[in-house]
A and B are shown apart, each in its own frame.
Chain A
Amino acid sequence: MLKFVGRRLVQMVFLFFLFLTLVFFLLEAQPGDITAQFLDPTIPAEIRAQLVERLGLDGGVWSRWWNYITNFVTGNLGVSFQQYPRPVLDVITERIPRTLFLFTFATLLSYVIGFTLGKRLAWKRGGFSEHAITVSGVLLYTVFYPWFAIIMILFFASGLGWFPINGFLNPEFWRGAPYTGNEVFGQLIFSLLITGLVFGFTAWFARRQEERSTARVVRVIGYGTSLAFLVIFWLVRGDMRPFALDIVHHSILPIVTLALIAFAGVMLLTRGSMLETLKEDYILTAQAKGVPEKDIRDKHAARNALLPVVTSFVLGLAFIIGGGVVTETVFSWPGMGSLLLTATVAEDVPVATGALAFVGILALLAHLIVDILYAILDPRIRIQTGN
């Protein structure tokens, strides 16, 4: 297992450097150099030359490339033009948790919806409901995202008034608040992270139990603890609670929108994978034994159909990150995606490329996590690569 993780890690590092190189050449290939673009054209030539030397732009391409890579690895991404003289890394680290929050919940939600609908679709092939769900799922998948996000806002925020129209928090409500938004959000993330970890550990530990009764006890205790932790945490931080709830309230509509855009991919994959699993002999055996249909579907077929769906997470990942950029922008959710777009529009090149690099890192890291998860779920994978 360790060997497997190590191999994947090495591969990821290699891919990451390949990606950084790509970003570097994107920058390098832009017309004109940075001094020609952003400086007064009338400054004397020797000063310009000095500047070029100071910025390390005087060497050859490879020395510049090496500069870029070393600077990136040491965390020096330059200074934002727009928010001068704030370092890019500072801007980005402020935005990352918000994007991760949106992204994690939207992914989880889309997987839950997609997997549940997908297994049902495969189970009841043909018929009107299959067509209806497939068509609406694909329409949501190919939908013009910003347009869909706007429709969601028009309907649920402007029309029904259930959710705020956009933004991260309600400034009127926060006036005179004893905390900053980032502090409250940090606490929120912390409590959810702990809850999630306990939850995940319980699920993993319960599956390892041989006895059904012990597994049940483990589940009750584990899930109970995680929920109790969340409740107690926010009872203790009662002064912060209304502010945290405000942030959560603002996040619901973007999360739902992103999940709706993304679930169809999971749904179609589950369906395909289920159809294959349903042809297996053990399904026939289960049917012959008289196992209830629901149990065959959920416990025999869907469990095994889950594996390919988890691997294909990689495909969905790029999709959901792309959708996230759009969703964040339309909902004015101040995460990496909207940072990327606003920086690009404002020609804030260091921030734009820095954000792009971090989006890439996010994708690679998520890929790594899924790989490891997959190896945990399916012993065949680690045995194969171990040899």
Chain B
Amino acid sequence: MVVEEKDPVDVLTELPEGEGITIGAGEQLPESLWKVRLRLFWKSFKRNWTLFKENKIGLAGLAVIALFALMALSYPVMRSAGPWQNDAVYNPVIGYDAPRAEFEIVATEADVVDPTTQMDANKAQLWCFRVVAGDTCVIPQQPAPPGSDHWLGTDPLGRDIASQLAFSTRAAFLLGLIAAVVTVGVATTIGSIAAFYGGWLDNFLMRVADLVLLLPLIPILIVMSGLWQINLPILGVLIGILSGFGGTAIVLKSQALSIKVKPFIDAARVSGGSNWHLISKHIIPNVLPLSFLYMMFTVTEAVSLEATLSFFGLLNIDMSWGIMLNTAQSQGYLRSGLEFWWLLIPAGVAVTLLAAGFFFVGRAMDEVVNPRLRAR
């Protein structure tokens, strides 16, 4: 007969929460476990926030991220009314909304006095069939310069740039979130397991981590995107795995090693904790804070990688900052100088700023975690 053995330490933590913990005969902890945890968390959060606040660049990064979050939220609100009212919210992928300009038709090119309102009949044939002098011809403007309808103009396909920018922000955050969560999961697991078990497993995992660290992500992802159809969630997972298994895993492993030798690990083992219990309840929670730091750098990486791959048209994504530039490039507007600046500047600045925002926050967190970097 197989008796299911329960880990004694697990039994302790699996007590119904909120009721207080019974230790021995009738003794009770004054508070339930989660309250203690919350209070500890809040305390360390406040302490770290004080340190973080000293770093002005980190605060600026946080402000940039908040700004982008607002932008992402603003999209459905700001774009829920307008000429596209048959749809609830303007869709920047398929929403053709080029502003129309009315031209007065004159006989020959020499008669054109004001080229913004007049056009010769010959040229107008391109848009209006069989017009003659005296007629008017309505011509869609694409790309249209910024105006009251379109704050940042339209792209070469007549779609609103401001909406595309805000719409893509959501995608960028989603991608960053997926990549960050996967990185943290992969890196803490690999790091803790390698540190805990040691031996050949550690050796093997660390050699693989060396390899992943050495390899440039962009070429690998370029080739992968050629072999498969990669969409946003898959890209997030790939970036998460590749950046989590590399440098982050190595750093977290050394952190886990320093925790493995602490007395409380021995105490937990003596009281009968299984390997799994030690890893999941003692090592991982202690490694996790450090992994949040690397999460920030992963988000930076994910945002710029996605933009780069999209720019080359390798991803199966319908709208992102990279796609915006890709559209402008493929329509031939990108190398013509700053005449069509609204096609070039907003998307590039958005990618750079959001990536930099996360990087600055990561760096400020680095100073909180590593005292040697602090000014004092």
Contact = CB atoms under 8 A, between A and B. Distances in A.
Given A126-B375, A146-B311, A340-B223, A314 B228 contact: no
B344 A30 contact: no
Nearest to B370: A272
A158 B335 contact: yes
Nearest to B311: A146
Contacts of A341: 222, 312
A15 interface: yes
Contacts of A325: 216, 218-219, 222
B307 interface: yes
Contact of B337 (A18, A22, A158): A158
B348 interface: yes
A367 B216 CA distance: 12
Contact of A344 (B211, B226, B338): B226
A262 B321 CA distance: 22
A15 B325 contact: no
Given A144-B352, A145-B308, A325-B222, A314 B213 contact: yes
Contacts of B338: 154
A41 to B, nearest CB: 20
Interface string A334-363: 000100110111010100110110011001
Nearest to B221: A322
Given A131-B57, A344-B226, A147 B352 contact: yes
Contact of B217 (A22, A142, A322): A322
Contacts, number: 158
A347 B226 contact: yes
Classify chain B: how many residues form its interface, as a range: 35 or more
A150 B334 contact: yes
A134 interface: yes
A295 to B, nearest CB: 24
Given A141-B359, A321-B216, A15 B210 contact: yes
Interface string A238-268: 0000000000000000000000000000001
Contacts of B219: 321-322, 325, 337, 340, 355-356, 359
A163 interface: no
Interface in B185-231: 207-208, 210-211, 213-220, 222-228
A122 to B, nearest CB: 10
A31 interface: yes
Nearest to B208: A18
A275 interface: yes
B227 A349 contact: yes
Size band of the interface chain A makes with B: 35 or more
A364 B216 CA distance: 11
B348 A340 contact: no
A315 B213 contact: yes
A131 B40 CA distance: 34
A364 B223 contact: no
Nearest to B372: A276
Contacts of A364: 214
Contacts of A329: 312
Contacts of B152: none
A19 interface: yes
B283 interface: no
A321 B222 CA distance: 13
B194 to A, nearest CB: 16
Nearest to A264: B359
Contacts of B321: 144
Nearest to B354: A142
A192 interface: no
B223 A19 contact: no
A142 B337 contact: no
Contact of A318 (B215, B325, B347, B360): B215
B373 interface: yes
A153 B334 CA distance: 11
A326 interface: yes
Contacts of A126: 375
A272 B373 contact: yes
A113 interface: no
Contact of A139 (B208, B210, B311, B356): B356
A11 B313 CA distance: 37
Contact of B226 (A158, A165, A352): A352
A2 interface: no
A11 B226 CA distance: 30
A344 B217 contact: no
28 contacts: A14-B207, A15-B211, A138-B356, A138-B363, A142-B352, A144-B304, A144-B308, A144-B322, A144-B325, A144-B352, A146-B308, A146-B312, A147-B352, A150-B334, A154-B337, A315-B247, A317-B216, A318-B216, A321-B216, A321-B219, A322-B216, A325-B218, A343-B226, A344-B314, A345-B313, A352-B226, A360-B215, A367-B214
Given A147-B325, A268-B363, 13 more contacts: A18-B211, A31-B227, A134-B57, A138-B356, A143-B351, A146-B312, A150-B344, A158-B335, A319-B216, A325-B218, A326-B308, A337-B219, A349-B226
Interface of B: 56-57, 60, 207-208, 210-211, 213-220, 222-228, 247, 300, 304, 307-308, 311-314, 321-322, 325, 334-335, 337-338, 344, 347-348, 351-352, 355-356, 359-360, 363, 372-373, 375
